[in-house]
């Protein structure tokens, strides 16, 4: 498994990434009332900037990621904590149909086969489960200029259709933030971040 985040992990928890995670958490909490009986699953949870904020509101949580280095940073934070599990590998490696709540921030554009992922999520989610995804709307490729990534953001109509095809009901899709970053020297680019909420 290629780990494109191997060299980013140690410095991931910087003010910019923390602010980005916090904005997603704030937006998520506006729409979803977390339930202390829920089992949560985070996809591409990295160092836990999002998951560790939501964990205290849930019964248990699995944080999945394909980057061993990102998970090492996370494990250093969760040592000795009960009811939180890390999963190194593809989310399709998680097979138990016991998930009440799925969430993911800025990881979907790294995942090649979204329909396959959504079909799998539908299998492991309990009826009534809530899925909350935060990512970029379609961008010109400048966000990851030199890194190989499968998606230059998402056309959210297409993504919503993929959720519906997998069996989910899409409740909400909206832009909640516009990132302004100078990815190309001398050019300030804008990247719209959306939140999508779906139910099984
Ligand atoms: C932009 S980072 C976001 C990390 C974290 N969600 C946050 O908000 O700080 C993307 C994460 O997705 C992970 N990732 C990349 N490809 C993945 C895949 N196919 N399945 C699961 N996670 C993946 C990366 O290792 C990385 O930790």
Q: How many CA atoms lie within 13 A of 199 on its CB side?
A: 7
Question: Which runs of consecutive H residues, i.e. helices, occur in 79-137?
Answer: 114-124
Put the strands of the sheet holding 60-65 in their side by side order.
84-88, 60-65, 39-43, 99-105, 125-136, 187-199, 169-184
User: What rounded mean pLDDT belongs to the chain?
Assistant: 95
Nearest Cα residue to atom 4 of ligand 1: 46
Domains of the chain: residue spans and CATH: 9-199 (3.40.50.150)
Give pLDDT tens digits for 2-55: 778 888 999 999 999 999 999 999 999 999 999 999 999 999 999 999 999 999
Q: Are strands 99-105 and 125-136 parallel, antiparallel or unpaired?
A: parallel
Q: Is the CB of 5 under 6 A from ligand 1?
A: yes
Q: Is the CB of 17 under 6 A from ligand 1?
A: yes
Quick one: pLDDT at residue 1?
Answer: 66
Residue 107 CA to ligand 1 center (angstroms) comes to: 4
Nearest Cα residue to atom 19 of ligand 1: 111
**Rounded to the nearest 5°, which phi and psi values hold at 90?**
-75, 150
Give pLDDT tens digits for 93-129: 999 999 999 999 999 999 999 999 999 999 999 999 9
Give pLDDT tens digits for 136-173: 999 988 888 777 789 999 999 999 999 999 999 999 99
Q: Is the CB of 132 under 6 A from ligand 1?
A: no
Q: Is the CB of 74 under 6 A from ligand 1?
A: no
| CA–CA gap between residue 27 and residue 4 (Å, rounded) | 27
């Amino acid at each position: 498994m290629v780990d494109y985040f191997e060299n980013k992990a140690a410095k991931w928890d910087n003010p910019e990434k923390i602010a980005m995670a916090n904005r997603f958490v704030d937006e998520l909490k506006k729409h979803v009332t977390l339930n202390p009986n829920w089992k949560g699953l985070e996809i591409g949870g990295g160092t836990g900037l999002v998951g560790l904020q939501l964990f205290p509101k849930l019964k248990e949580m699995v944080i999945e990621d394909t980057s061993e280095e990102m998970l090492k940073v996370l494990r250093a934070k969760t040592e000795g904590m009960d009811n939180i599990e890390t999963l190194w590998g593809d989310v399709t490696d998680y097979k138990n149909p016991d998930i009440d709540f799925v969430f993911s921030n800025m990881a979907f554009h790294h995942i090649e086969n979204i329909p396959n992922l959504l079909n799998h999520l539908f299998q492991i989610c309990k009826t009534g489960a809530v899925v909350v995804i935060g990512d970029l709307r379609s961008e010109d490729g400048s966000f990851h200029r030199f890194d190989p990534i499968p998606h230059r953001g998402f056309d959210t109509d297409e993504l919503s259709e993929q959720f519906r095809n997998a069996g989910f009901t899409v409740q909400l899709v909206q832009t909640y933030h516009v990132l302004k970053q100078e990815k190309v020297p001398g050019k300030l680019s804008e990247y719209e971040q959306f939140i999508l909420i779906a139910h099984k």
